[in-house]
Amino acid sequence: MLALSFARHIFDLSISYIIFLTLAILLLLYICIKYKCLKRFVLLFCVFVFGISYYFLGFYTFSGIDYPQSVLIEARVESITNYTNFSTCILDDVKINGNHRPFKITATISNDEIKQSNIVVFESKITKVKLFDDDEFNSFYYKNDTPYKTTINDIVSIKNGYKKLNEKIHDAFNNFVDSNFDSSIGGIIKSVIIGDKSTLNKDIKNSFSSSGIAHLLAISGLHISIIILCINFILNKFKLKEKYNFIILFILLTFYCYICNFSPSVVRASLMSLMFISSNIVGRKYDKLTSLALCAILILLFKPLYIFDAGFLLSFGCVFCIFVISPSICSLLEKTKLNKKVCSNLSVVLSVQLGLIPLSAMFYSSINLLSLLCNIICVPLFEFAFILTFIISFVCIILPFMTFLLKVVELLYWLISNISILFSNATFAFLTLPKTNSMFVVGFYSACFYLSNFVNEKGLNKSIVCPSILIVSYTCSLFV
């Protein structure tokens, strides 16, 4: 992961990064020679070189060839996101001048006649997208596998196409939500259940982000754990063996990942949950950090440039903070003689809020000091609303005359939404952070790991090493 994050600067011939990495490698080599563990250095160096090579492979396999002239494009409209004066759509099953191409295209349209799943034939010029623009990673194109963008103007024909299974499920769920909920609340429900943010109200999205509860809109560990609890509750009624429960759960979670278009946060949460359950079945101790690292490696093997995506880093950073920082905070809180459950829940929220400050500074440059309080209020409300959404929706599908119960769910999401708006409007609570980069972020999380209970080292050594790591990483970040 470190190699992937630094590889771009190496290929861009950033002198400061190259000097820093050279010195770091020489220092590591000296330490390994001194302590007679040269084999470890060779292994680490090979892994690092592999990571750099894999970045190169991921970057250049995404980048396509140039099309200098206008081309005839035939493609299926996979999805459409509507804005005020235009719409953006993702085109798949692409043919260029009659030849199939293994990529998708992002297209801007102003024609209301074009609908999802339509087969569109048009003539236009397509241009390669820039994955990095002013040092910012354009994750939208990478997530959607669209190395090209275009504008649909000269339409030759529009005809009905086909819909994939996950699109049919999305349509059925969206129709259910649209017919039973207000549009603003419906956008939240679509986002938290199937990961569809195309109809999410912009003001609500901004208020969730500003108040520090944007993680509730992204399907992650909280959502997956609730889903697993619901599935296990049903499976336990059949009194099957654990391994059969696991197989069924594996199939259902894989299918759910497919419905959510294999979002990194969904895949990460699903994989970690399955690893935890499987470790209990085979009688092995569950290693939290190993499972987290393994999930990251598996995702990056398929999508190596996700290492630059804010959502990917915040998702994994959040879990890392819970595993590494939360136990220390919990032990401090327990000294205040608070209830153990209160200490545990509060330490999780605190560890995430404190641990994500470097990433927040890198991507957003500010934090809301009241986000801790907002999370303490909204997370329990959301858990209750999320569970009720599944239970009441299931009841209403079987007994349609019970749809009035959905108003309870709508009220809860409305309450959460308004609480987020209240906290986001508290402008006095916003703190502007100094801009950081990946070098300081790596140093910060390295110091957190070294300070944690995962490293068996004397307290005195930790008190010297951790500040040293932070000072060195921050100093280096000023020159890169």
Token reading at 391:
């239970």
User: Per-residue pLDDT for 101 more than 60?
Assistant: yes
Phi, psi of 96, rounded to the nearest 5 degrees: -115, 120
Distance CA 231, CA 273 (A): 13
Q: What's the mean pLDDT in 372-376?
A: 88
Higher pLDDT, 15 or 179: 179
115: confidence class by pLDDT, cuts 50, 70, 90: confident
Distance CA 148, CA 106 (A): 6
Residue 355 pLDDT = 85
Q: Is 478 helix (H, G, I), strand (E, B) or coil?
A: coil
Residue 201 pLDDT = 86
Distances from the Cα of 18 to the Cα of 13, 47, 124, 198, 326, angstroms: 7, 17, 42, 41, 35
pLDDT, tens digit, for every residue of 121-155? Answer: 988 888 888 888 777 788 888 888 888 898 888 78
Phi, psi of 443, rounded to the nearest 5 degrees: -65, -40
Instruction: Give start and end residues of each alpha helix (H) in 124-220.
Output: 139-143, 165-180, 183-194, 202-211
Q: Is 225 helix (H, G, I), strand (E, B) or coil?
A: helix
User: Per-residue pLDDT for 418 more than 90?
Assistant: yes
Nearest alpha carbon to residue 266 among 213, 235, 229, 227: 227
Distance CA 266, CA 270 (A): 6
Q: Is 130 helix (H, G, I), strand (E, B) or coil?
A: coil
Distances from the Cα of 261 to the Cα of 231, 254, 255, 475, angstroms: 21, 11, 10, 40
- Alpha-carbon Rg of the chain, whole angstroms? 24
Token reading at 27:
């220092």
Higher pLDDT, 177 or 335: 177
Of the ranges 177-191, 217-231, 371-385, 402-416, which one carries the lowest mean pLDDT score?
Answer: 217-231
458: confidence class by pLDDT, cuts 50, 70, 90: low
Distance CA 48, CA 22 (A): 12
Residue 60 pLDDT = 76
Q: What's the mean pLDDT in 336-364?
A: 83
pLDDT, tens digit, for every residue of 267-324? Answer: 888 888 888 888 888 878 888 888 888 888 888 888 888 888 888 888 888 888 888 8
Our CA angle for 370, 415, 217, nearest 5°, is 70
Residue 112 DSSP label: T
Q: Which residues contact 401 (CB under 8 A, 6 or more apart)?
A: none
Residue 379 pLDDT = 87
Q: What is the mean pLDDT of the chain?
A: 83
Helix H or strand E segment including 367 = strand 366-368
Distance CA 478, CA 246 (A): 49
C-beta separation of 421 from 207 below 8 A: yes
DSSP track, 313-347? HHHHHHHHHHHHTHHHHHHHHHTTT--HHHHHHHH
Give residue for tokens 């992961």. 1
Q: What's the mean pLDDT in 350-375?
A: 85
Q: What's the mean pLDDT in 252-262?
A: 90
User: Per-residue pLDDT for 14 more than 80?
Assistant: no
Give residue for tokens 């300070």. 451
Higher pLDDT, 386 or 15: 386
Distance CA 328, CA 37 (A): 31
Highest mean pLDDT among 45-59, 103-117, 134-148, 259-273: 259-273
417: confidence class by pLDDT, cuts 50, 70, 90: very high
pLDDT, tens digit, for every residue of 433-455? Answer: 877 777 788 788 888 887 777 77
Nearest alpha carbon to residue 359 among 437, 257, 307, 288: 437
411: confidence class by pLDDT, cuts 50, 70, 90: very high
Our CA angle for 306, 307, 309, nearest 5°, is 60
Residue 474 pLDDT = 66
Nearest alpha carbon to residue 451 among 442, 461, 441: 461
Residue 69 DSSP label: S
C-beta separation of 151 from 106 below 8 A: no
Reported residue count of the chain is: 480
Token reading at 1:
């992961």
User: Per-residue pLDDT for 469 more than 60?
Assistant: yes
